[in-house]
A and B are shown apart, each in its own frame.
Chain A
Amino acid sequence: MRPVYIAGVALTPIGEHWELSLRDLACEAALKALEKAEVERIDALYVSNMGAAPLQSQLHLGALMADALGLYGLPAMRVEAAQASGGVAVHEAHLAVASGLYDSVLVIGVEKMSDALPQEVRSALAMAEDQEYTAYTGVTDVGLCALLHRLYMERYEAEPEEVAALAAISHEHAVGCPHAQYPFRVSVERILSSPMEADPIHMLECSGIGDGAAALVLTADRGDVEIAASTVAVDHFFLTERSDPLTLEAVGTASKRAYERAGISPRDIDLVELHDSTTIIGILSLEELGFVEKGFGARYVSEGNVRRDGELPVNTFGGLKARGNPVGATGIYQVAEIALQLLGEAGRCQVEDAEVGLAENLGGVASTATITILRRH
């Protein structure tokens, strides 16, 4: 296996892009990334997407996007692992280059959610779960997180304010981020007085619905940012079969494997992009990633440790909550953001002297967990 580098990254602002199609968004990000990367040629194309089948009735995204970009003849494919599609696409693309099979590959994450009605989007998101028994109950993705949220507060006596702090800090970080969907401050009080989405989860504790695309060029040519590790792990698909619903086993497994591969420990990580689809998932993730002991995640966050100038800067562009969560593209946004931080191109969101960053991208209630660790050279 040889080292893999990130040669070019690009991302579109996340929002409701009424004037842009799925294809337009993907091309915008991909062409910019290709321009920056200055590689001789692209050997393969990976398109990460979750919802184009239910939301646009569109499959076959590999060939469709390759055609849109004038990339004829190369292997092209869609990678789908629900909300973890991005992380898994990076994993597959990285393997192809690391193995020596391809020298330079293009990864595009794209999602277009504003074309559909909210209940259609909720059904599409619920497709991450088993349709015969889990989705059949009428539970939503946020509803499943709510079951964990209540268990967490009861077991560890966490206060609602401590859990909600993650959303408030993420919003703080998005201020000044040009690609963030919600780049404004929201106080903990306002979060906790927003309507319930799925008790005890308030609407302002969930990520929203957005359109966006991000692209990466991975290459074997030596560059400034290396993929130090890219791992994927899966857990019991049914929450009801896990021995402890508050243990995101796949996150633990994938991150341990990633630390080992990168030859580092959690203490060496300078910044983190978390999969905070809801606040509780972000908090459980911090614990599972080894940054804080089990049961202390909410307190750790509310004490301000995850602020950009804190001990462990988290969601430095706003995370899923404030940067936005165009599901199939989210994992690519996270990796692009870490790369921007390590390259010193994060603008107003810049973290000082960051050398190693970690991105965590999850599918379902962490049925799939993906970890990407980037290192600056």
Chain B
Amino acid sequence: MSVPRYWREIKYRYRLIGELCTECGAIIFPRRSLCPHCGCRELEECKLSETGTVLSWTVIQHPPKGYEKYAPYVVALIKLDDGAQILSQVVDVEPEEMRVGLRVEATFRRVREDGSSGIIEYGYKFRPIIEEP
């Protein structure tokens, strides 16, 4: 991936920044020009919830190019506590421990490396929440 293309998304991928629709109140991620639910163009930047619940999950055994050394890894459909949905890898978990309803939190991780000379790409992944006593 080219540096500008990567750089463009840094704020959103590193900090989980989405948008709030001022018309219908939907939380939108990733950012876009208009609300996909009501068409409103007045959207305000907002921070997404960093905690959520797993709605569904899978284990990628045979990954696409660039992800080989991470396989097998878990990818989940997550409902964040603010109501937005997000697709993300879930890390620090064995596939056997995965279940629908698992509580997870966002964490900042390495995503892939672009060859030996390219950039190292980072972004959000989620991990199980370990409750405080």
Binding site for B on A (CB under 8 A): 118-120, 122-123, 126, 130, 132-140, 143, 146-148, 150-151, 154, 195-201, 236, 238-241, 245
19 examples of A-B residue contacts, CB within 8 angstroms = A119-B65, A130-B30, A133-B30, A136-B13, A136-B111, A138-B70, A138-B73, A138-B112, A140-B60, A148-B56, A150-B56, A154-B56, A154-B100, A198-B62, A199-B58, A199-B59, A199-B61, A238-B30, A241-B28
Query: How many whole Å from B65's CB to the nearest CB in chain A?
Result: 4
Binding site for A on B (CB under 8 A): 9, 13, 28-30, 36-37, 55-68, 70, 73, 75-77, 84-89, 95, 100, 111-112, 123
Query: How many whole Å from A320's CB to the nearest CB in chain B?
Result: 18
Complex Cα gap A245–B87 (Å)? 12
Query: How many whole Å from A229's CB to the nearest CB in chain B?
Result: 28
Which residues from chain A contact B28 at a C-beta distance below 8 Å?
241
A245 and B77 contact, CB distance less than 8 A: yes
A138 and B89 contact, CB distance less than 8 A: yes
A-B CB contacts (within 8 Å), total count: 100
Complex Cα gap A135–B30 (Å)? 13
Which residues from chain B contact A199 at a C-beta distance below 8 Å?
58-59, 61, 95
B29 and A240 contact, CB distance less than 8 A: yes
Residues A147 and B65 in contact in the complex (CB < 8 Å), given A239-B77, A241-B85: no
Query: How many whole Å from A192's CB to the nearest CB in chain B?
Result: 16
Residue on B with the closest CB to A122? Answer: B64
Residues A140 and B59 in contact in the complex (CB < 8 Å), given A239-B77, A240-B29: no
A197 and B56 contact, CB distance less than 8 A: no
Query: How many whole Å from A209's CB to the nearest CB in chain B?
Result: 11
Residues A198 and B61 in contact in the complex (CB < 8 Å), given A136-B111, A147-B56, A239-B77: yes
Instruction: Give 7 closest A-B pairs by Cβ, nearest first.
Output: A146-B58, A240-B85, A123-B64, A138-B67, A147-B56, A199-B59, A122-B64
Complex Cα gap A132–B9 (Å)? 8
Contact for B63 among A132, A140, A239, CB less than 8 A: A140
Which residues from chain B contact A245 at a C-beta distance below 8 Å?
56, 77
Which residues from chain B contact A151 at a C-beta distance below 8 Å?
55-56
Which residues from chain B contact A132 at a C-beta distance below 8 Å?
9, 30
Query: How many whole Å from B4's CB to the nearest CB in chain A?
Result: 13
A137 and B87 contact, CB distance less than 8 A: yes
Query: How many whole Å from A30's CB to the nearest CB in chain B?
Result: 32
A119 and B30 contact, CB distance less than 8 A: no
Query: How many whole Å from A196's CB to the nearest CB in chain B?
Result: 6
Complex Cα gap A139–B64 (Å)? 8
From A120, A122, A201, residue with most partner B Cβ within 10 Å: A122
Complex Cα gap A198–B98 (Å)? 13
B111 and A150 contact, CB distance less than 8 A: no
A138-B70, A197-B61 are known contacts; what are 17 more A-B pairs with Cβ within 8 Å?
Answer: A119-B68, A122-B65, A123-B64, A130-B30, A137-B75, A138-B63, A138-B89, A138-B112, A143-B75, A147-B76, A150-B56, A150-B100, A195-B61, A196-B59, A198-B60, A241-B28, A241-B37
From B64, B67, B85, residue with most partner A Cβ within 10 Å: B64
Complex Cα gap A134–B65 (Å)? 15
Residues A143 and B9 in contact in the complex (CB < 8 Å), given A136-B123, A154-B100, A239-B77: no
